[in-house]
């Protein structure tokens, strides 16, 4: 949490992006909330370890790119996550990577 004597709530929210186009209040609040959620780093990945072949969902009228769907995670990386959080062989994980929040599904053949 931070306190600012110069910015009000609306200015802070505006600094996160343009949300007024989203008329569904719950969706708008969820998108704003993504900027405020916390993550726990597990492993540092290099660019060569990340394979992004899925097409993004682009809304040029809003000047943003949204990608919905699932990515994949290797067995080795899944085991690191399970160990860090004391989990028992999960098959899916909610993640944040480089400001992107999403879901990874276990793909043992990776």
Q: What is the mean pLDDT of the chain?
A: 79
Q: What is the pLDDT of residues 3-36, one digit of tens each?
A: 556 778 788 888 877 888 888 989 888 888 877 7
* More confident position, 88 or 19: 88
Q: Is the pLDDT of residue 66 over 70?
A: no
- Secondary structure (3-state) at 91: coil
- What lies within 8 Å, CB to CB, of 66 at 6+ separation is 56, 57, 58, 59
Q: What is the pLDDT of residue 1?
A: 46
Q: What is the pLDDT of residue 98?
A: 63
User: Would you kindly state where each structural domain of the chain is located, as residue ranges?
Assistant: 1-37, 42-110
């Amino acid at each position: 949490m931070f306190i600012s004597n110069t910015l009000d709530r609306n200015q802070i929210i505006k600094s996160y992006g343009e949300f007024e186009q989203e008329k569904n209040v719950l969706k708008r609040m969820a998108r704003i909330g993504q900027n405020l959620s916390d993550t726990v780093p597990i492993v540092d990945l290099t660019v060569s370890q990340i394979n992004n072949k899925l097409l993004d969902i682009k809304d040029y009228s809003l000047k943003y790119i949204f990608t919905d769907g699932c990515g994949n995670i290797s067995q080795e990386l899944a085991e690191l996550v399970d160990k860090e959080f004391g989990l028992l062989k999960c098959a899916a994980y909610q993640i944040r990577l480089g400001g992107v929040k999403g879901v990874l599904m276990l793909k043992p053949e990776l």
